[in-house]
Structure 1
Amino acid sequence: MSGDTRERIMEAARLTVQDLGYGGLSFRELAKDVGIKSASIHYYFPTKGELGEAIMQRYIDRYERYLDEILNDTIDSTTMMRRYTDVFRDTLLNGNRLCLAGMLAAERNDLPAEVRTEVVRWGEMNERWIARVLAPGEDAPPEDIRRRAKAVFAAVSGAQMIAHGRDDVGLYDEVVSAYRESGLIP
C-alpha cells in the first residue's frame, strides 16, 4: 500500500507540475488530490525538492525505456522521429500540458539543485537518443551529428512550447511539419 501511495503522490505531482509548474506544486493541494494528509506526503518526500527530483527521475526512466523500444522496434529514422515527436504532441493533447522537463526548465532559476540536475539529464538523454537515430544516415563528423541532435531537440521542445502557449496542437503539427520539410527532422 505504501508503494501505491508514493506512486499516486508522484503521479499527481507530475500532472500538477505539467499543468501549473513547479511553483504551483503545493503539498497541501497535492494531499487533497491524492486523498491523504499533507504530513503523509512529507513522510515520502521530506522536501518539495526531493519530490521534484523523484518525479523527474521517474519521468526520465520511463521515457528512456520508451525511446529504447523505438530503437529496437523501428527500422527507419523517419518512423523513429515521428514516434518521438508524437510523444510531445500527445502531451499537448492531455489537457494542453507541457513536457515535465520543459515546464521545469522554464522555471530553472527557482528550482532546487537536485531538480535542475534532472532537467539537464533529461535534455542530454534526448540529445543522445536523437544523435543515435541520426547517425546511421549521416556522413558527418560526430560533433556535427550531436549539434544537429541538439537543434532537433530544441525545435521539438520549442514547437511544443509555442503550441501550448496558444492552446493549439495544430500549431505544433504545422511547425514540426515545416521542420520535416526543411530536412532538420527526418
Structure 2
Amino acid sequence: MRDRIMEAARLTVQDLGYSGLSFRELAKTVGIKSASIHYYFPTKGALVEAIVRRYIDRYERYLDEVLNDATDRTTVMRRYTDVFRDTLLNGNRMCLAGMLAAERNDLPAEVRTEVVRWGEMNERWIARVLAPGEGDAPEEIRRRAKAIFAAVSGAQMIAHGRDEVAHYTDVIAAYRESGLIP
C-alpha cells in the first residue's frame, strides 16, 4: 500500500505540483481512507520527501547504468535527454523535481533539500560524462554541466507549458548543433 500511495502521489505531483496534492484525492485514487495515508506518511511534506528521495535514487541508478553501458559521450547524453522527453510523452508530465522546483517557496524544508539534491546529482553526473576519469571535475566542466542541466530542464518546462513535445525535441537538437550538449 505504501508503494501504491507513493506512485499515485508522484504522478499527481508531476501533473499538478505540490500544491495540487491532496490526501483526500490521493486516498480516492488509491482506494483507501485519507486517514490511512497518514499511517504511512504523517504529513504531505513527509510523503513528498519520500517520493522525491525514491525518484532520485532510482534515477541515479539508471544514469549510472547508462554511463556504464554506453560506448560514447554522445550516446550517453542522448539517453539522458531522452528521459526528459519520455516524461513529457507520459501525459505531458514534468520531471518530479523540476515541477517541485517551481514551487520552491511553498515547499517544506525537507522537500527543498531533496530538490536541491536532484539538481546536484544531475550536475555531478553530467560532469562525469564530460570529464570521465576526473575525480573532482574542474570548475569549467562543473559550469558546463550546470548549463546543460539547466538547458534540458528549461526545454522540458517550455514543452510542458506548450503541451508540445516537439518543442523539447527542437530545442535539444539546437543545443546539440551549438555544441552545448554532446
Same fold (TM over 0.5): yes
Matches within 5 A, 1:105-116: 105-116=101-112
Residues 102-158 of structure 1 show CA distances to partners (whole Å, capped at 9, x for unaligned) of 0000000000000000000000000000000001499xx710000000000000000
Aligned to 2:12: 16
Equivalent residue runs for 1:27-176 within 5 Å = 27-136=23-132, 142-176=138-172
User: Letter of the aligned partner of 2:93 in structure 1?
Assistant: R
| Separation in structure 1 between the aligned mates of residue 123 and residue 115 of structure 2, nearest angstrom | 13
SS at match of 1:46: coil
**TM-score normalized with structure 2 length:** 0.97
Paired residue secondary structure (1:23):
helix
Distance 1:173 1:72 in 2: 25
Whichever residue aligns with residue 117 of structure 1, its letter is T
Give the letter for the 1:87 counterpart.
Answer: V
Q: SS of the residue aligned with 1:36?
A: coil
TM-score, normalization by structure 1: 0.95
Q: Percent identity?
A: 87
Assess, with a 3 A threshold, how the Cα gap between structure 1 residues 125 and 173 changes in structure 2: closer, same or farther: same
**Matches of 2:87 and 2:26 in 1, distance apart?**
21
Find the aligned partners of 1:136 and 1:57 in 2 and give their Cα distance: 26
Within 2, Cα distance between the matches of 1:113 and 1:137? 34
Separation in structure 2 between the aligned mates of residue 64 and residue 36 of structure 1, nearest angstrom: 31
In the alignment, structure 1 residue 181 sits paired with structure 2 residue 160: no
Which residue type is aligned with residue 26 of structure 2? L
Q: Give the whole-Å Cα distance in 2 for the aligned partners of 1:76 and 1:146.
A: 19
- Aligned residues between the structures: 180
Residues in 2 aligned to 1:173 and 1:25: alpha-carbon distance in whole angstroms: 29
Other structure's SS at 1:171 match? helix
| Structure 1 gaps, min length 5 | none
User: What is the distance in 1 between the residues matched to 2:119 and 2:5?
Assistant: 24
In 1, Cα distance between the equivalents of 2:180 and 2:131? 13
> What one-letter code is carried by the residue in structure 2 that aligns with 1:173?
T
Distance 1:137 1:61, change over 3 A: closer
Query: What is the distance in 1 between the residues matched to 2:96 and 2:140?
Result: 28
Deviation at 1:75, TM superposition (A): 1.5
